[in-house]
Amino acid sequence: MKLWLVRHAKPLVEKGLCYGRLDVSADQSLTEMATDKLITALSEDSKVKVLLTSPRQRTKQLANLLAQRLNLNLLEEERLAEMNFGEWEGHLWDNVPKSAIDLWTKEMKTDEMKRFYIDCLGGLSQSILSSTGDEYMSKETNKLCDKLIEHIKNNSN
C-alpha cells in the first residue's frame, strides 16, 4: 500500500502571514502545474482509488483537479484540516511575540510529537475505513502505526 501525502500550492497570502486554519486559496497556475506532475506520478500507480482532502480551499483546489482528471472519488476530511494557530491566525509571524512562539514549541517533547503524528495516522486509518470500506488499507495503516510505536519505544530520547 502506498500513501501519498501532497501539499497544496503556494497560498495567496501576504508573506509571513500565519494561516493554519485560515481558509485561503492557492495560486491557481501553480496548482495546475502540481496537478500535471501528480497525474504523471499517480498514473504509474493506478491503484489509487480515493482522494482525501482537508476542507480548506487551498487543498481542495488541488484535490478537486486531481479527482476530476483522474475520475476518482474525493472525500473531505475535517481531521486533515490544518493546525489551528488560535489568536495568531491571520496575523504576521513578526507580530507574534518570540516568547509565545518559544513557549508553544517547547510544550511538546519530540517523542510526544511523534506519538501525536502516529495518532493522526490512526485517525486516518479509521477515516479510510469509514469513507471507503477498504479494510485492507485501514489495517495496513494501523500496522504502520504499530511499527512506528515500536520504533519510538526502541529509540526514545
Q: What is the pLDDT of residues 55-71, one digit of tens each?
A: 999 999 999 999 999 88
Do the beta carbons of residue 49 and residue 28 sit within 8 Å?
Answer: no
Cα–Cα distance measured from residue 116 to residue 31, given in angstroms and rounded to the nearest whole number: 29
Q: Is residue 143 part of a domain?
A: yes
The three three-digit cell numbers of residue 76, written as one number: 473531505
User: Both 126 and 88 in a single domain?
Assistant: no
Domain with 140, as residue range(s), is 108-157
Cα–Cα distance measured from residue 39 to residue 58, given in angstroms and rounded to the nearest whole number: 18
Please name the residue that has the C-alpha cell 478537486.
Answer: 64
- Torsion angle (degrees, nearest 10) of CA 7, 11, 14, 16: 0
User: Both 126 and 66 in a single domain?
Assistant: no
Question: What is the domain count for the chain?
Answer: 2
pLDDT tens-digit readout, 10-21: 999 999 999 988
> pTM for the full model?
0.64
Q: Is residue 13 part of a domain?
A: yes
